[in-house]
């Protein structure tokens, strides 16, 4: 059987696979119970919030669109985990899926501000200059499911597959990145 282009590309590099156990060791707060979170105000953020509140008891305490933060009175951003967005502040914990690094050969001096940010492209050291064709093509909910399915004892019903493929334009991304198929 012929391998897809994405399989060829991934197998030609070392360390590209994301190890869920390693991710949970690096970001142990991801599987903790009863944490407070802030969501991006779109379908991806809402799905992440529903998933984490249902399986881990997380509490939605605000929304952030990248410009305006609406946070429950008395809470500080550092006390929350931001879902479906990457936050460029070291004390802030966040989970997203966007390509963040432009060129890994020219890493900014303050790149460590993403040290508490779980991002599949950062985990694999992917950048826009060298690896855009390997850009993580799914939404944040998919990386959460992929990492936490065992801890959540998750069984995804067949009826959920189609809606999950349309989250954050995943289906259109897959059609647009035909090199990965």
DSSP string, the chain: -PPPHHHHHHHTSSS-S--HHHHHHH-GGGG-SS-EEEE-SSHHHHHHHHHHHHHH--EEEEEE-SS-EEE-TT--GGGEEEESB----TT-EEE------S-GGG--TTGGGGTTEE-HHHHTT--HHHHGGG---S-HHHHHHHHHTTTTT----HHHHHHHHHGGGHHHHHHH-GGG-
pLDDT of residue 120: 87
**Better-predicted residue by pLDDT, 169 or 147:** 147
Tens-digit pLDDT profile for residues 95-115: 998 888 788 899 889 888 889
Q: Name the percent of the chain lying above pLDDT 70.
A: 82
**Better-predicted residue by pLDDT, 161 or 129:** 129
Tens-digit pLDDT profile for residues 115-133: 999 998 888 888 888 888 7
- Residue 165: pLDDT band by 50, 70, 90 thresholds? confident
Task: Say if residue 171's pLDDT is above 50.
Answer: no
Prediction pTM value = 0.82
Q: What's the whole-number mean pLDDT along residues 11-16?
A: 56
- Give the total number of structural domains in the chain: 1
Domain range for residue 143? 5-180
């Amino acid at each position: 059987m012929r391998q897809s282009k994405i399989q060829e590309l991934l197998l030609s590099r070392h360390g590209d696979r994301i190890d869920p156990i390693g991710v949970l060791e690096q970001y142990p707060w991801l599987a903790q119970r009863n944490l407070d979170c802030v969501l991006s105000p779109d379908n991806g953020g809402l799905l992440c919030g529903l998933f984490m509140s249902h399986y881990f008891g997380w509490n939605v305490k605000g929304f952030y669109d990248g410009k305006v933060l609406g946070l429950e009175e008395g809470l500080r951003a550092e006390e929350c985990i931001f879902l479906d967005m990457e936050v460029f502040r070291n004390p802030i914990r966040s989970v997203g899926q966007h390509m963040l690094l432009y060129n890994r050969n020219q890493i900014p001096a303050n790149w460590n501000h993403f040290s508490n940010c779980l991002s599949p492209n950062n985990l694999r050291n992917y950048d826009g200059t060298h690896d855009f064709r390997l850009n993580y093509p799914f939404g944040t909910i998919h990386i959460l499911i992929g990492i936490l399915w065992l801890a959540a004892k998750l069984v995804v019903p067949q009826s959920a597959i189609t809606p999950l493929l349309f989250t954050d334009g995943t289906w259109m991304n897959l059609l647009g990145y035909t090199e990965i198929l």
